[in-house]
């Protein structure tokens, strides 16, 4: 009995030590992030609107703020990024070389000019949503590119992987946002930056604890 109690106390002590180490690590990450550029401007530029739209769609605002940090570092003026690989796929689809691309079919691109294909192959706004996502949103591309970009970007997030967010599955959510697919079972991220998901999870901790006080 004595040995059993010693064993239980030993396990308990290990648990406390692990919890302490994890808490200290979290605090260290948050300390580092507080001294990282971008967070103040992200909060200034987007928090008020994000909080309102997040409530409309029942999505976690800290996550949305984290994606803005990942994709545009909180900048108000975000560059338009052309993606050659996406353009090549859309050209193949338009020419009937492939039967579909995500939710698109060849008929969707019938008569679309090369200039418009390039616009569909570019990403816009702080969430860097691709132009061709306007099809699933059922809006003109100009609406995604314009002043309502923030609303339609979050609407796309809600349509595409909102259920993951409402379940608290943020690891898959970050991966889906960047790649279109869930985090691979083999543990090897397919994101353009291998640290994209881990950075996103750290940013979310920062927003939850420091900004939203959760």
pLDDT in tens, 81-98: 999 999 999 999 999 999
Provide the pLDDT for residue 124: 98
Secondary structure of residue 70 in the 3-state scheme: helix
Of 20-34, 56-70, 98-112, the range with the lowest mean pLDDT is: 20-34
Q: 3 CB contacts (<8 Å, ≥6 apart)? A: none
Judge contact between 173 and 146, C-beta under 8 A: no
Q: Provide the pLDDT confidence category of residue 78 given band limits of 50, 70 and 90.
A: very high
Asked whether residue 109 is assigned to any structural domain, the reply reads no
The pTM assigned to this predicted structure is 0.83
Asked whether residue 94 is assigned to any structural domain, the reply reads no
Instruction: Take residue 4 and report the two structure tokens written for it.
Output: 């059993």
Q: What is the mean pLDDT of residues 60-78?
A: 96
Backbone region of residue 36 per phi and psi (left: phi > 0; alpha: psi in -120 to 50; beta: other values): beta
- pLDDT tens, position by position, 193-212: 999 999 999 999 999 999 99
Position with higher pLDDT, 180 vs 11: 180
Asked whether residue 126 is assigned to any structural domain, the reply reads no
Provide the pLDDT for residue 7: 46
pLDDT at residue 36 greater than cutoff 70: no
Asked whether residue 7 is assigned to any structural domain, the reply reads yes
Asked whether residue 131 is assigned to any structural domain, the reply reads no
Q: How far is CA 8 from CA 12, 13, 16, 18, 111, in A?
A: 6, 9, 12, 15, 72
Q: What is the mean pLDDT of residues 165-173?
A: 98
CA distance 97 to 25: 51
Q: How far is CA 168 from CA 24, 165, 171, 193, in A?
A: 23, 5, 9, 22
Asked whether residue 173 is assigned to any structural domain, the reply reads yes
CA distance 148 to 53: 11
Place of tokens 């993951």: 164
Asked whether residue 178 is assigned to any structural domain, the reply reads yes
Provide the pLDDT for residue 60: 98
Q: Provide the pLDDT confidence category of residue 37 given band limits of 50, 70 and 90.
A: low
Provide the pLDDT for residue 214: 78
Burial of 212 (0-12, 13-18, 19+ CB in 10 A): middle
pLDDT at residue 4 greater than cutoff 60: no
8-state DSSP, 182: P
Q: Structural domain of residue 7, as residue ranges? A: 2-78+138-211
- Tell me the pLDDT of the chain averaged across its residues: 88
Q: What is the mean pLDDT of residues 142-151?
A: 95
Domains held by the chain: number: 1
pLDDT at residue 1 greater than cutoff 60: no
Asked whether residue 203 is assigned to any structural domain, the reply reads yes
């Amino acid at each position: 009995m004595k040995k059993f109690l010693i064993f239980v106390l030993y396990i308990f002590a290990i648990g406390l030590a692990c919890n302490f180490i994890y808490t200290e690590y979290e605090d260290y990450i948050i300390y580092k992030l507080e001294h990282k550029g971008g967070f103040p401007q992200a909060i200034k530029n987007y928090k008020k609107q994000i909080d309102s739209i997040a409530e409309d769609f029942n999505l976690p605002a800290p996550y949305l703020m984290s994606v803005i940090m990942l994709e545009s570092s909180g900048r108000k003026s975000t560059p338009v990024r052309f993606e050659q690989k996406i353009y090549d796929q859309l050209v193949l689809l338009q020419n009937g070389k492939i039967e579909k691309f995500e939710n698109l079919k060849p008929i969707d691109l019938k008569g679309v000019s090369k200039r418009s294909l390039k616009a569909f192959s570019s990403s816009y706004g702080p969430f860097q949503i691709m132009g061709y996502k306007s099809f699933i949103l059922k809006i003109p591309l100009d609406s995604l590119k314009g002043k309502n970009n923030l609303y339609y970007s979050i609407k796309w997030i809600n349509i595409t992987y909102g259920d993951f967010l409402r379940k608290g599955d943020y690891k898959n959510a970050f991966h889906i946002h960047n790649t279109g697919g869930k985090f691979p079972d083999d543990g090897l991220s397919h994101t353009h930056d291998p640290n994209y998901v881990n950075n996103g999870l750290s940013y979310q901790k920062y927003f939850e604890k420091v900004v939203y006080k959760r």
